[in-house]
Structure 1
Amino acid sequence: MHSFCGLDFGTSNSTFGTLNPASQQAMLLPLEDNKVTLPSAIFFHFDLNECFYGRAAINEYIDGEFGRLMRSLKSVLGTPLMEETTQIKAQQLPFVDILTSFLQNLKIKAEQSAAANGQHSFEQVVLGRPVHFVDSDPQADLLAQDTLEQAAIRAGFNDVVFQYEPIAAALDYEQSVDQEEIALIVDIGGGTSDFSVVRISPERASRAERKDDILANGGIHIGGTDFDRKLSLASAMHELGYKSSFKDKAATANFEKNFSIRKSVSKDSYTESTKMIMPSSYYHDLATWHRIHQLYDRHTIHSLKDIAYRVENKQLIDRLINVINKREGHRLAIDIEHAKIELSANANTHIDLDYIEHNLGLNISLEQLRDSVNHEIKNIQTQAFQTVQDAGLVPSQITKVFMTGGTTAIPMVKHAIEALFPHTDIIQGDQFGSVGLGLAIDAGRKFA
């Protein structure tokens, strides 16, 4: 019976792994509806005074239950939002309490699942982490890790150690190789794009210490939720008034003076001739998973009602007000995420927005997705190349590229990596399971 585990706390999905007591092979534990992934989501049900997690949380929200949905908790780590509280009915909950609640529920679900194999509790954990929680800010990065460690201990783990997520994926991939390779591990998930250049082989796999086999690590804070945000801004947000013009300069000359509006108007509106453009911050918040709930306050609604009478197309702002009033922001974000996934296999997709306005719908094309994330794709490609350079290598010296993470399913992401390594075999791993399996392997080495 093992008391150790590997936990991949992901921006979009989480997994929980350990070693099979009989075979000693890494395995992922079913967490919900017999699935090994658990969406990283919490729904605070206000009427029942109860928390729902994972798919159940999302379903409660979609069913229209009264409460608050929170997703992409990992994206908050290392940001100023980490120090803020979230209002849940009459309570103001610190972020670390919300994070602890999710990890504790994840641990309970895993222990219930493991009970069938004679395992009863997990005390020691190897937690996955991105190469950088925060780009170019070591102090914020350390604070993010410390906060995650604190939450894990409060959730019931006695021993907590961390491993880079791409290194964990390398440990999983290494189980299948039959010769020595210099592999580039590409792990692009919901929040970050992480890369490691690692020497792997059947012989090296048995070593407890692998520090010398890690040639370079690199990462950038770009992931699937950034793709969601950019696609939303390029499509759905225009149906809600994004970049709409005010009627004319004269009509809005005293706008800020006479009306209570968001401070962002003065810094993100701009003038073109006599035109003033709708503040963009509303739309950026609505398109960003962990900032959506910040719009749900009376001041926002009051400001938008003032604005609506001063834009050229009031109907669009009325739609935005409707989304915020009915707290449908996460539902719209879910629809955009599903559209992105659909476009991984199709040239076009359609979103039904009838819950915003009767008979409202939106067609989105693969070309729109490609154009909206072009900048992010280039940055991912640049970071992958930089990591190879940091290892003292050129792309032709990489013998295998191993890809994992849900965002690697997006065609333009795959094509960008393939373009860097035209003569190298590209191996597609378990998109949602490789990191968790590798963390379980690492836990066995560290705690067994």
Structure 2
Amino acid sequence: MIVGFDYGSSNCAIGTLAHGHQVQLVELEAGRYYLPSTLYAQHNALVVDFVANKLKGSDLAEAYLNARASLLKGVPAIRRDLDLGSGETGLQIGTAAIEEYIDFPEEGYFVKSPKSFFGAIGLKPQQIAFFEDIASAMIMQIKQRAEQQLQRTITHTVIGRPVNFQAVGGEQSNQQAINILTTAAKRAGFKEVEFLYEPLAAGIDYESRLHEDQKVLVVDIGGGTSDCSFVQMGPSFRGRSVRDQDFLSHTGKRLGGNDLDIAMAYHNFMPLCGLDSTLKSGLPMPNQLYWQACKINDLHLQSEFYSQANGRNLKAMLRDVSEPNKLARLLKIQQSKLSHQVVRQGELSKISLSSDAEYMAKLDCIEPQLFKDVTHTDLKEAVTDSLKQICELAQDAITSAQTQPDVIYLTGGSAQSPLLKAALNQSLGDIPMLNGDNFGSVTAGLTKWAHQIYS
């Protein structure tokens, strides 16, 4: 069976073509088509154990068991310590992973938006192997859930990819990320795997509804990346299996909705933890500490923040700061691993302030009765720099295409923001803008493309 697979930074979705060639999303959680891109394991070795068990009997099993032999040796003792039964994996994905993390933030291994890390530069071989295992565990479960719903075996897929997983690493980062996803998909049992730029997928979905040819600038603001594709589309182009000549330009960078959430948390919540305060000497508090706390999509900064050395440093600093009660909150975040919960409040603030004038953020995970009232103005100030970068991506795509678009097609979780539309309008001029299905356009386009190339 053929499916489109959006392994997104924020959510995952699978689509198939139903009767009448209509895209139908597959239920991946109870009553939900979009599964949050999150994983929680009671111990990180249980991710390896899960993949090893799923691979039993496959052609890939022996090579995997040999490669992970040293890690798998310790699994029986870990399972005994955690009191796991024979049928318990100690691993959850999606909403269940988020709930487990909120209940036990200090006791397990939690990762949100793992795709954001796949193109990171400087990863050691063992880190790449672990990201392969994380992606494998998630894709295995997602594929299994889809097959249970469809009552059919899925064999062929097109997976969405950003234009650039991480701009700093260039094509080397892109290839590293593609290799991780390909390895995971093959382990999960996909026979054929292809990749398609996510903004192009959204454009293909839009094209199926066009009655005349248009030059379309697709702006896709995902959870981890922002991507632009300038595409010629319409009845004259639809149905071609090779579209390279129709794609006039692509731009993209590792800047997405997660970064807007992080910016909201940093600018609005970190002052409660000592940002912008001073040491007793009068010197300002180092900003780096607070970026480390918030940058949940940066493996190195988070590792530095949660290191034992940083914990000791924060405790020592309590004697030297002018407002130790505020720094104590940052220490609480560090000791209890609360970064994801703090940034989640930034995300909820961003979502609410897209339509409301103010929002009361709950930060009682740090301290009882700790709240912060944030306004639309606070949101605008926090995300201004990010919106400027997105507008520059769009302008670069237009410049590279050497022509003006007839329409701008917006998709992605943050594409509905009035601030984004206003910024694009100011930067690019009065070009008509249309909103697609902010979450479903990419999956629909991937599904249609998959059936076009495999059928």
Interval containing the TM-score (normalised by the shorter chain): 0.7 to 0.9
Q: Does the CA-based 8 Å contact 1:100-1:155 persist in structure 2?
A: yes
Query: Hey, what's the Cα distance between the residues in 1 that align with 2:131 and 2:283?
Result: 37
* 1:368 aligned partner: 378
Partner of 1:383: 393
Percent of pairs with identical residues: 32
CA distance in 2, matches of 1:308, 1:411: 41
| Equivalent-residue separation in structure 1 for 2:140 and 2:270 (angstroms) | 36
The aligned counterpart of 1:89 is none
Matched with 2:447 is 440
- Identify the residue that residue 45 of structure 1 maps to in structure 2: 42
Q: CA deviation at 1:293?
A: 5.4
Q: What is the TM-score normalised by the length of structure 2?
A: 0.85
Specify whether residues 93 and 447 from structure 1 end up closer, same or farther in structure 2 by C-alpha distance, changes over 3 A only.
closer
Partner of 1:70, secondary structure, is strand
What displacement does 1:421 show?
A: 5.1
Counterpart check, 1:30 vs 2:62: no
Code of the aligned partner of 2:233: I
The 3-state SS of whatever aligns with 2:12 is: strand
SS of residue paired to 2:381: helix
Which consecutive aligned stretches of 4+ in structure 1 deviate over 6 angstroms post-superposition?
A: none
Deviations 1:124-145 (A, max 9, x none): 1111111111215222222222
> In the alignment, is the contact (CA less than 8 A) between 2:4 and 2:157 conserved in 1?
yes
8 Å contact kept, 1:44–1:50:
yes
- Per-residue deviation, 1:409: 1.8
State the secondary structure of the residue aligned to 2:178. Answer: helix
* AA matched with 1:97: D
The Cα offsets for residues 348-394 of structure 1, whole Å up to 9 and x where unpaired, read as: 11112222122211111111111122111111111101101111113
Q: Secondary structure at the match of 1:15?
A: strand
Match among 129, 153, 157 for residue 161 of structure 2: 129
Cα displacement string for residues 282-307 of structure 1 (whole angstroms, at most 9, x for unaligned residues): 32122122347523343332221111
Partner of residue 255, structure 2: 222
Provide the C-alpha distance between the structure 2 equivalents of 1:208 and 1:71, rounded to a whole number of angstroms.
Answer: 35
**Which residue identity lines up with residue 424 of structure 2 in the other structure?**
I
Deviations 1:98-129 (CA, angstroms, capped at 9, x unpaired): 121111111112112222xxxx1112111111
In the TM superposition, what whole-angstrom CA distance separates every residue of 1:274-326 from its partner, at most 9, and x where no partner exists?
Answer: x3333333321221223475233433322211111111111111111112222
Contact 2:295/2:302 (8 A) holds in 1: no
Aligned counterpart in structure 1 of residue 315 of structure 2, from 275, 280, 305: 305
- Which residue is equivalent to 1:13? 11
User: Is this contact kept in 2: 1:83–1:95, CA < 8 A?
Assistant: no
Q: Is residue 324 of structure 2 the alignment partner of residue 314 of structure 1? A: yes
Establish whether residue 286 from structure 1 lines up as the match of residue 327 from structure 2: no
Partner residue of 2:48? none
Letter in 2 for 1:301: G
Contact 1:83 1:94 in 2 (8 A): no
1:398-439 deviation per Cα after TM superposition (whole angstroms, max 9, x unaligned): 222111001112221121223345543311100011001100
The partner residue of 1:73 within 114, 118, 126 is 114
Q: Verify the 8 A CA contact 2:120 2:173 in the aligned structure 1.
A: yes
Instruction: State the Cα distance separating 1:82 from its structure 2 match.
Output: 4.4
Aligned to 2:124: 83
| 8 Å contact kept, 2:36–2:94 | yes
- Report the Cα offset of residue 93 of structure 1: 7.4
Task: Please list every run of 5 or more consecutive structure 1 residues that lacks an aligned counterpart in the other structure.
Answer: 87-91, 249-274
The answer to whether the Cα contact below 8 Å between 1:242 and 1:278 also exists between their aligned partners in 2 is yes
SS at the partner of 1:362?
Answer: strand
Q: How does 1:349-364 map to 2 (within 5 A)?
A: 349-364=359-374
Question: Shift in Å at residue 176 of structure 1?
Answer: 1.1
TM-score, normalized by length of structure 1?
0.86
- Distance in 2 between residues matched to 1:297 and 1:84, nearest whole Å: 21
Offset of residue 27 of structure 1 = 2.0
Moved more, 131-140 or 169-178: 131-140
Q: How many residues align?
A: 407
Cα distance in 2, alignment partners of residues 392 and 154 from structure 1: 42
Work out the CA distance in 1 between the residues paired with 2:361 and 2:239.
Answer: 50
Displacement of 1:245 in angstroms is 1.5
Higher helix share: 2
- How far 1:192 moved relative to its partner? 1.1
Change (3 A) 1:82 1:101: farther
Once residues 124 and 7 of structure 2 are traced to their aligned partners in structure 1, the CA distance between those partners, rounded to angstroms, is 20
Q: 1:72–1:289: 8 Å Cα contact kept in structure 2? A: no
Q: Is 1:107 paired with 2:104? A: no
Q: Given residue 113 of structure 1, which amino acid in structure 2 is its aligned partner? A: Q
